[in-house]
Amino acid sequence: MKAKKPFIRHVSLFFALLVLLLPVMVSAQTYQVRSGDSLYLISRRFNIPTSTLKNSNNLGSNLIYPGQVLMIPTAYTVRPGDSLYLIATRNGVSLSSIRATNNRWHDSLMVGETLYLPSAQPQQPGQGGSGGDNQVYTVRTNDSLYLIAKRHGVTIQALKTTNRLSSDFIYPGQQLLIPVGTGSTPAPGGNGGNSGNQGGNYNQKYNLSAADIELLARLVRAEAEGESYEGQVAVAASVLNRLNDPRYPNTIREIVYQVDQGKYYQYSPVLDGRINLSATASTRKAVQDALNGWDPSYGAIGFYNPAKTSNRWVKSHPVTTQIGSHVFYKN
């Protein structure tokens, strides 16, 4: 009997390690907002921070609507050997969505701390005669049916038919099915909310000159070349957000070339000369999409690359999102 004890210990140790290494799948749930609900009451009901509830549903304010579907993230306790990447992989969610839900832009974890996991975005069976599987999309702040249709290469009518919408009204947190296989693209132009407008009207809100648009497109190239198209639009949108903010200059040229206290350049390409590089077709289109109302930065007024900056001032501001290597922030 004594000879068997080492074997038993090894087996016990093996199973203990196996328990630690096996993926722990947790899944978020959904909640449909009722009359009289508030974010505060819902967060208390599910014992999660209100800020986490807002982050996981891409809400830019505390406004919610009866009938709105909210994702309720699930609490996860960090275990030995965990990393953000492993947690994301095990639970079928993206790393960026975990970062956004928890407003966490570093990789350090402490055993025993609580993270909140968003819902994975599953594929759902096709509806409305699309003939395939439809992608689930959660409506974000500043979205419109026009922008969502344009972004996914479908028509507004296909979106409305698939989701049985009787009007163009949508709200942040609402889940839409994006039809596939329609073979159609939305009409060009528009101002982000009305598909009937044609391309020449996209600049009505800002009334920018051709030189302003070209300068902004050059800045987007200098700051976001190599980033995704969404990241390019986000950079353009953050500059337009400054244009709408009374704390900043009221022209594109003054915003781009602003230097605080004679030494703090707002955009490094102005300092190193990259601002003089020609705009590209992609960055010009990104500027137009930002002018149309698409704001992937969620209202940010600035951005930075955390791997390249040690500026404590920008890092002290609330983060709105991260796209590629850029963290976007408000102040």
Residue 5 lies in a domain: no
Other beta carbons within 10 Å of 136:
14
Cβ-count burial of 330 within 10 angstroms (0-12 exposed, 13-18 middle, 19+ buried)? Answer: middle
Domain enclosing residue 140, as ranges: 135-201
Residue 282 lies in a domain: yes
Predicted local distance difference test score (pLDDT) of residue 181: 54
At residue 191, does pLDDT exceed 60?
A: no
* 110 and 144 part of one domain: no
* 99 and 42 part of one domain: yes
* 241 and 279 part of one domain: yes
* 196 and 215 part of one domain: no
Per the DSSP assignment, residues forming a β-bridge with 69 are 32
Whole-angstrom distance, CA of residue 118 vs CA of residue 122: 12
Residue, of 7 and 69, whose pLDDT is higher: 69
Please give the C-alpha separations between residue 104 and each of 61, 176, 228, in angstroms, as whole numbers: 19, 27, 21
Nearest Cα residue to 235 out of 326, 317, 105? 326
Residue 194 lies in a domain: yes
* 71 and 174 part of one domain: no
At residue 110, does pLDDT exceed 80?
A: yes
Phi/psi for 276 (5° steps) reads: -85, -5
CATH number of the domain that residue 57 is part of? 3.10.350.10
Residue 8 lies in a domain: no
Contact call for residues 79 and 20 (beta carbons, < 8 A): yes
Q: Specify the pTM.
A: 0.46
User: Where would I find the H helices in 22-177?
Assistant: 39-46, 50-56, 84-90, 95-102, 145-152, 156-163
Whole-angstrom distance, CA of residue 190 vs CA of residue 198: 5
Whole-angstrom distance, CA of residue 159 vs CA of residue 180: 10
Predicted local distance difference test score (pLDDT) of residue 149: 81
Structural domains counted in the chain: 3
Q: Could you tell me the two tokens for 63?
A: 């406004």
* Residue 253 confidence class, pLDDT cut points 50, 70, 90: very high
* 62 and 159 part of one domain: no
DSSP letters spanning 168-233: S---TT-EEEE--S----PPS---SS-TTS-GGGTTTTT---HHHHHHHHHHHHHHHTTS-HHHHH
Predicted local distance difference test score (pLDDT) of residue 68: 82
CATH number of the domain that residue 224 is part of? 1.10.10.2520
Predicted local distance difference test score (pLDDT) of residue 121: 47
Residue 124 lies in a domain: no
Residue 182 lies in a domain: yes
* 293 and 225 part of one domain: yes
Instruction: Count CA atoms within 13 Å of residue 190 on its CB side.
Output: 20
Which of 117, 151, 168 represents a domain boundary (last residue)? 117
Predicted local distance difference test score (pLDDT) of residue 4: 52
Residue 286 lies in a domain: yes
At residue 2, does pLDDT exceed 70?
A: no
Which of 117, 152, 185 represents a domain boundary (last residue)? 117
Report the chain's mean pLDDT, rounded to a whole number. 77
CA 107 from chain centre, in angstroms, equals: 19
